[in-house]
Structure 1
């Protein structure tokens, strides 16, 4: 039986399954001031794997506050960490930043600050992820659209000139429009890509980070121009949401990997074990990392099911 939760107090989880046989795990630390890594040869082993702090927020200036949603990616035989951060003196001026490590082992070597990813709009932006499709490296991220009053974030996509520089047009793929995307906050954030069955699937999280948080899904044909918003179809309903019956609330900010067999698809996400939150959800540390396997519908789209119930009890 898989441990649920997998890792306590770690939100926005991401796992990279590397060619060395390890699963590398990172996530948002509840103090919002550091980037941590774990690794294990099994997914379940991440629960007890030693955690290493590989980078800390600056005491002043850029990258000083709100260190959120790191993702570890391997691009051109080099490690990169994408994360959101704000100046210590302006903690809501959040943008996407990049670290690089040329050492084969991301726990060793030096993490070099490559700077901020420059986007067409200089607005609130976060939750960057990268993937390769048909030989092109892409970055997907969430950003405030200045043309839409009241919208917090939309999902954007761009090709990359290198792992820290965007090139060409930046396409807006999805904005909050359905009721379930607009509860508390009008939010599309936390994109992550899954490529299967001659299609490109992009999941994202919607609404406020309480029990309304849920996953949406965009789908494009693998042969289409991914930078053409018309190539993408949005699911009109959430594809993964709170399960009152199982006591799992606000599942979201997911990533994907495969099980140890190399074939079974796995969904990682965070959620809380209760519905009511005292105060600001951002100050509640109990978004725990969970994972579960998932299957596929006859039409070739993913079937995530419902969040499974906890098997690991929190210590008092």
Structure 2
């Protein structure tokens, strides 16, 4: 029988752990109330559990980002700290729950938990539709932006896009669509590709993402490209036809997804950070069930240099 995974941090979904240039680990995630941006920092992964929780921004009572604050990610880009997040108008103004747009706040403080943060700035993708789950990464001297967004004329809730950035707040190129929900495991209840995260290893750029509804159907997929290819050319990317991580009924580990990547304290191991539930009996909308917990596990690699997220799914 497989070992039951143990949560690292309770009731934190969409977890992001950054190993920053200052040597600290920074943790950001969606809080159950969806009302604020919260940071923790520690010299160790385990230390994040008891680290002080610092609220660096709280949503206003009204306006374009006054509700459902989702999936914040902290990044250190071009000499400053940025938190990218999705926010929606208050439901008294917009009756559709899912009118999110992407925003970012920034600070130049040495310690972002003590810094004075800017007011949110919208990241304009050139497509005025529901969007969320942005991440950034540096490659070849360029800063890239990867996110999920609804595109009119394509069936489903969200697709994956990439663009180069001019600054950490503005795009330099038009959005390029990399993936749409198309396989059976991507379209269970909802047609979704979301939660992208980037890992560079073994001459490749790996892009993980999550698909389907946020209950036990939630699962993770993978795209990858050669590190020397044109990342803005969709043909550079290969998409796995099968999930790389999904529910494990034997372990009561359900709906793993919305991951990020970090490294161990000694720098020897890549770590997979993700959320999952420990039961399926959800009352009402899974969105309001608070018990998506943060898990961290060692990422394994096969002989061809491909990541192994779940040994059950390897041949």
Alpha carbons of structure 1 residues 197 and 2: separation in structure 2 relative to 1, 3 Å: farther
* Separation in structure 2 between the aligned mates of residue 98 and residue 204 of structure 1, nearest angstrom: 21
SS of 1:168's equivalent in the other structure is: coil
Whether 1:134 and 2:140 are equivalent positions in the alignment is yes
Normalised to the residue count of structure 2, the TM-score between the two structures is: 0.94
Aligned positions, number: 306
Shift of 1:169: 2.4
Q: Report the counterpart of residue 48 of structure 2 in structure 1.
A: 46
Alpha carbons of structure 1 residues 2 and 77: separation in structure 2 relative to 1, 3 Å: farther
* CA-to-aligned-CA distance 1:204-228 (integer Å, 9 cap, x gap): 0000000010110001000100010
Return 5+ residue gaps in structure 2 as ranges. Answer: none
* CA-to-aligned-CA distance 1:22-60 (integer Å, 9 cap, x gap): 110000001000010111111111111111111000111
Contact 2:5/2:251, CA 8 A, preserved across alignment: no
Q: Report the counterpart of residue 171 of structure 1 in structure 2.
A: 176
Q: Report the counterpart of residue 194 of structure 2 in structure 1.
A: 189
Q: Report the counterpart of residue 118 of structure 2 in structure 1.
A: 112
Contact 1:210/1:275, CA 8 A, preserved across alignment: yes
SS of 2:174's equivalent in the other structure is: strand
Q: 2:28 aligns with which of 23, 26, 31?
A: 26
* Separation in structure 2 between the aligned mates of residue 147 and residue 65 of structure 1, nearest angstrom: 27
Whether 1:213 and 2:218 are equivalent positions in the alignment is yes
Whether 1:298 and 2:300 are equivalent positions in the alignment is no
Contact 2:299/2:309, CA 8 A, preserved across alignment: yes
* Separation in structure 2 between the aligned mates of residue 56 and residue 245 of structure 1, nearest angstrom: 39
* CA-to-aligned-CA distance 1:166-192 (integer Å, 9 cap, x gap): 111210000000000000100000000
Q: Report the counterpart of residue 313 of structure 1 in structure 2.
A: none
Q: 1:233 aligns with which of 229, 235, 238?
A: 238
Whether 1:154 and 2:159 are equivalent positions in the alignment is yes
Q: Report the counterpart of residue 314 of structure 1 in structure 2.
A: none
Q: 2:276 aligns with which of 260, 271, 275?
A: 271
Bigger mean CA deviation after superposition, 44-53 or 232-241 = 44-53
* CA-to-aligned-CA distance 1:109-167 (integer Å, 9 cap, x gap): 21102511111210000000000111110000000011213x10000000001011111
* Separation in structure 2 between the aligned mates of residue 168 and residue 298 of structure 1, nearest angstrom: 36
Q: 1:65 aligns with which of 64, 67, 72?
A: 67
Shift of 1:81: 0.4
* Separation in structure 1 between the aligned mates of residue 4 and residue 87 of structure 2, nearest angstrom: 33
* Separation in structure 2 between the aligned mates of residue 76 and residue 104 of structure 1, nearest angstrom: 13
